[in-house]
Structure 1
Amino acid sequence: MTPPPHALVIPYPAQGHVIPLLELAHALVDRGFTVTFVNSEFNHHRVLAATTDTTKNGSAGLLDRIRLVAVPDGMEPGEDRNNLVRLTLLMAEHMAPRVEDLISRSHAGTEGADGGPITCMVADYNLGTWALDVARRTRIKSAAVWPASAAVLASLLSIPKLIQDNIIDSKDGSALTEDTFKLSPDMPIMRAAHLAWNCIGDHQGQEALFRYLIGGIRAVEKCDFILCNSFLGAEEATFAQFPKVIPIGPLLTGERRGKAVGHFWRPEDEACISWLNAQPTRSVVYVAFGSFTMFDTRQFQELALGLELCGRPFLWVVRPDLVHGDVHDYPQGFLDRVSASGRGMVVAWSPQQQVLAHPAVACFVSHCGWNSTMEGVRNRVPFLAWPYFADQFVNQVYICDVWKVGLRAQADESGVITKEYIATRVEELMSGASMRDRVEAMKKVALESLKEGGSSHDNFDMFVQAMKA
């Protein structure tokens, strides 16, 4: 009997990448594949710890037909893995040989080669050249997955032209102009300072990272597919300009109850859902800033006071690392007032898909990460768009200027988004009927693309058949 096709799926080692790539792995299993899912050792253990439906076997877990495997990322145990430049440059050296050995052992049928020979690789585009080079050396089919907006991928693929047009520096990609530009007449307006590689912090490795990104352009030209977690109706002009990029989204992250979804924190114990059940329809402000966003104390306190000032029920996700274990980072008496009034709830993490799908939720104060953006859109929730880094500034342009399903959070002259401003913007979102109509229409287009006969559904089926052949 011929074994099923066996896909090796490798995300970039960050939560916003692990979540959609693990959903893609589940979708491959739904279509008859066996999957080996490779995380860095650090993230592998975090995913297992946050998963209740996973059995452990040494350094690997097994979930349905997804085998969870760990490889080292090259960083020391105590190092800061939010230093994305260092992480990106190290993993090519340390992860590549382990992945190649994994494929070779699967072909040889040696110990640890569960699931039969690996027949194809589905690698996060952000891994750069090394993963796709391994696929070529081991002679398996390959696909690069871009888990964010097509417009941001288009900016990466356009680096040579951006250099030629004197928009960015050829050495490190830094901005050479403050003027706006478009990659094509119908694509969103961009700023060089807001291109993803210019928004990841002040790291000494910027020049090396930029060279790494240029190498990634060459690598994807040789893979069989470039898949994108977006949908045609969201970015039609971009897909028309870059026809090799194939939309297969929005991937339905967070909707597989009881299965591994790639979170790094233990999911909330459903207490926030019970709290939402007691709130009126379209009354709650949901506030969540993803896995990377950090605030200074003043901005953190202004946000807390702004939620109080708006007078609306709110559900606020505050990661433990945001408050450093010190409740005094909150405004004085804030937590006591929230607890006494019952009007707000603060949690360490939330089942975000369930929250956004809840009828009580009226708006989403968001960092504009692409997973959160897609989850908000497919649950018809308008945004207060508050980007932090990387691709989130381009996503804000989509939310506020292209789709018109959200409002910008804008800082004052001192660089702070004030409590008064937050309360005013939330009230605008709550009362904006036309914005709700637009996001409802976007939800319909997004979900239609995933149905049989929809563009994303048919694109994914085409990809699956090619990987099986």
Structure 2
Amino acid sequence: METTHGSRDITPRSTTCTRIILFPLPFESHISPMLQLANILHTRGFKITIIHVEYNSPNPSNYPHLIFKPDPIKDRFYEIAGELSTRQDATYFIEYLNKSCVDPFRDCLARFLTEPSEERVACVISNSAFYFTQAVADDLKLPRMVLRTNSLESALSYYALPAYDKRACFNLTKQDNEASLPEYPFLKFKDVKKITTNPQGMRDFATNVRNQMKASSGIIWNTFKELEELALEAVSRDFSVPSFTLGPFHKYFSASTSSLIEQDRTILSWLDKQLPMSVVYVSFGSLAHITETEFQEVAHGLANIGLPFLWVVRPGMVVGSEWLESLPKNFLEKMGERGRIVKWSPQQEVLAHRATRCFWTHNGWNSTLESICEGVPMICTPRFSDQPINARYVSDVWKIGISLEDGYERVGIETAIRRVMMDQEGEEMRKRIRCLKEKVNLSLAEGGSSSQSLNNLVDYISSF
């Protein structure tokens, strides 16, 4: 399906002296794709200005080609940031930001628009979760486009969430938990418990986001047509505004440098010493937390399988621990050079490395896309938000990985790693994900679906 533009007359214009304002959500998995989009649009001739909040502000010196507003939005997020380690439901934090940022963002944007400049401002692009920005943009008569940093399928699935709490799905029997949702058969009722612990809050949030996406001037997706073609058709039917699938964003550049967390690049030399296709790579993302018991089960599972592993353990990831205090006794000494634990990794380079054979992931959309792009099968342990939806697609629809259905338990962990790393089942997954990798490359090549969608987006923004 081709990208559509509704009834708007698209007249390509020069992007010279045209500025776009971007407003990212202040979390690693959201800031990275927004900054990648900024770089993509900059290479197409647009001037880019970033407005951001105080929490997790990016370092402007890493992006000398972009303009960052010198005074971040006063978000007052520090008042609740400490609760990130105890609350896994994202709606609590995002709703707070949607309330605390309204006036500061309006004032900042209004001041910027009245400053003397030879450059016209074409539009503002905000993260879809910042739904309040639609009303602000309307008041200032500025077109607002939306960036969705998750998959098309997860966006569609969220719209079924309003009915979840009515079904009392949080009090189902074990057998009922395994049943599929009528609207989305690939999802199971037990997945809903991971998506949100706050059905009412998620219902309100999903409704607000959807309504303001429909009121926007267009939607930008970090995905590619061939991966989610049926979902793209459904989105195009549901939303009258145009959709642009120009992802995966990170593939437009050799390696992304948009991470807010310092990467340990020493592990690349360790990977160089490993045999080809021999390493299990483990990372649960930038926000997820696990218990001490779960952490120890992961350690035992990795130790018992006898394969080399690279394990990312973010400081504070284990509830109640600073970093590695909860490891089994003498774990590091016993593993020696077979295992490496780091605080953060250059993930794209790790997944692209010849030694990496399997990715054990939380299935955030960025990580899922990066694994597809490098042809690395996955083991899935989703925690919350869109992660269970992505994991179901990986294991049950695309069949390029397996889900750890019983959570973090050492015997199940060993079995899952063996299936992906050693069994014929893993080889079949590898063939399928390599086919998707090839589709990624074709979509980004000249004339491919993502390349054409980017051209359409450039023309569309230039027509404002």
Contact conserved, 1:231 with 1:249, CA < 8 A, in 2?
yes
Cα separation, partners in 2 of 1:68 and 1:421, compared to 1, 3 Å: farther
Aligned-pair distance for 1:404?
A: 0.7
Query: In angstroms, what is the RMSD of aligned CA positions?
Result: 2.7
Counterparts of 1:341-352 in structure 2, within 5 Å, are 341-352=336-347
**Given that residues 387 and 396 in structure 1 are in contact (C-alpha distance below 8 angstroms), is that contact kept between their aligned partners in structure 2?**
yes
For CA contacts below 8 A with separation 6 or more, give which structure has more relative contact order: 2
* Pair 1:64 & 2:65 matched: yes
TM-score by length of 2: 0.85
Is 1:265–2:261 an aligned residue pair? Answer: yes
Q: 1:119 pairs with 119, 122, 129, which one?
A: 122
How many Å separate the matches in 2 of 1:68 and 1:385?
39
Task: Please name the residue that 1:180 is paired with.
Answer: 180
1:99 counterpart = 2:105: yes
**CA gap 1:101/1:273 in 2 versus in 1, 3 angstroms:** same
Give 1:216-227 correspondences, 5 Å limit.
216-227=209-220
Is structure 2 residue 381 aligned with structure 1 residue 386? Answer: yes
Q: Which amino acid aligns with 1:264?
A: L
Q: What per-residue deviation string (whole Å, max 9, x for no partner) do you get for residues 121-172 of structure 1?
A: 11111122x112212111122211111111111123456xx64xxx5539x9
1:63: Cα distance to partner? 2.3
The correspondence for 1:428, drawn from 406, 419, 425, is: 419
**Counterpart residue identity of residue 98, structure 1:** P
- Confirm or deny that 1:375 pairs with 2:370: yes
CA distance in 1, matches of 2:266, 2:323: 23
Give the direction of change, closer, same or farther, for the CA distance of 1:439–1:337 in structure 2 (3 Å limit): same
Cα distance change of structure 1 residues 402 and 327 upon mapping to structure 2, 3 Å threshold: closer
Name the amino acid aligned to 1:272: I
Residue equivalent to 1:444: 438
> Which runs of 5 or more structure 2 residues have no equivalent in the other structure?
1-13
Q: Deviation at 1:322?
A: 2.4
Worse-superposed segment, 75-84 or 371-380: 75-84
Q: Matched residue of 1:410: which SS?
A: coil
- Asked whether the 8 Å contact 1:19–1:253 carries over to 2, the reply is no
Q: Secondary structure at the match of 1:63?
A: coil
Assess if the C-alpha contact under 8 Å between 1:36 and 1:68 holds in 2. yes
Q: 1:248 and 2:251 equivalent?
A: no
Name the CA distance, whole Å, in 2 between partners of 1:81 and 1:30: 39
The residue aligned with 1:145 is 147
Tell me whether 385-394 or 71-80 shows the greater mean CA deviation.
Answer: 71-80
Q: CA deviation at 1:455?
A: 1.2
Please state if 1:461 is matched with 2:455: yes
Aligned residue in 2 for 1:58: none
- Aligned residue runs from structure 1 range 17-166, under 5 A: 17-44=30-57, 47-48=58-59, 54-55=60-61, 63-67=64-68, 70-77=72-79, 79-80=81-82, 82=84, 83=87, 84-109=90-115, 116-128=119-131, 130-158=132-160, 163=163
* Residues 269-288 of structure 1 aligned to structure 2 (within 5 Å): 270-288=265-283
Compare 78-87 and 371-380 and name the one that shifted more.
78-87
Cα-to-partner distance string for 1:54-73 (whole Å, 9 max, x where unaligned)? 43xxxxx8521342652122
For the structure 1 residues 253 and 99, does the alpha-carbon distance in structure 2 shift closer, same or farther, using more than 3 Å as the test?
Answer: farther
> Between Structure 1 and Structure 2, how many residues are aligned?
431
Are 1:26 and 1:66, in contact at CA under 8 Å, matched by a contact in 2?
A: no
Deviation at 1:352, TM superposition (A): 0.3
Using a 3 Å threshold, how does the CA distance of structure 1 residues 364 and 77 change in structure 2: closer, same or farther?
same
- 1:309 and 2:304 aligned: yes
Between the aligned partners of 2:146 and 2:458, the Cα distance in structure 1 is 14
Which residue identity lines up with residue 420 of structure 2 in the other structure?
Answer: L
Counterpart mapping for 1:278-357 below 5 A: 278-323=273-318, 324-325=321-322, 327-338=324-335, 341-357=336-352
Report the AA paired with residue 227 of structure 1. I
Asked if the contact 1:253/1:353 (under 8 Å) is kept, the reply is: no
C-alpha offsets along residues 6-37 of structure 1, whole Å, 9 cap, x if unaligned?
Answer: 11112222211111111111111011111122
Q: Secondary structure at the match of 2:385?
A: coil
SS at match of 2:359: strand
User: Do the aligned residues in 1 keep the contact of 2:73 with 2:101 (CA within 8 Å)?
Assistant: yes
Q: Secondary structure at the match of 1:80?
A: helix
Q: Distance in 1 between matches of 2:121 and 2:83?
A: 29
Q: What letter matches 2:124 in structure 1?
A: M
Residues 225-236 of structure 1 aligned to structure 2 (within 5 Å):
225-236=218-229
Quick one: structure 1 residues 285 and 26, their matched pair in 2 at CA, closer, same or farther if it must change by over 3 Å? same
Deviates more, 1:223-232 or 1:320-329: 320-329
Change (3 A) 1:275 1:297: same
Partner-residue secondary structure (3-state), 1:353: helix
Post-superposition shift, 1:212? 3.2
In structure 2, relative to structure 1, the CA distance for the partners of 1:440 and 1:36 (3 Å cut) is: same
CA deviation after TM superposition for structure 1 residue 42, in Å = 1.4
1-structure distance, mates of 2:158, 2:393: 17
Distance 1:424-1:249 versus aligned 2 partners, 3 A rule: same
What secondary structure, in the 3-state scheme, does the structure 1 residue paired with 2:360 have? strand
CA contact 1:320–1:348 (8 Å) conserved in 2: yes
SS in 2 for 1:119: strand
The Cα of 1:418 is off from its aligned counterpart by 2.1
SS of 1:465's equivalent in the other structure is helix
Asked whether the 8 Å contact 1:15–1:264 carries over to 2, the reply is: yes
When residues 99 and 117 of structure 1 are mapped into structure 2, their CA distance, relative to the original with a 3 A threshold, is farther
- Cα distance in 2, alignment partners of residues 254 and 199 from structure 1: 32
> CA separation of 1:191/1:319 partners in 2, compared to 1, >3 Å: closer, same or farther?
same
In structure 2, C-alpha distance between the alignment counterparts of 1:122 and 1:173, rounded to whole Å: 36
Among the aligned pairs, what percent are the same residue?
27
Cα gap change, 1:246 to 1:40, in 2 (>3 Å): same
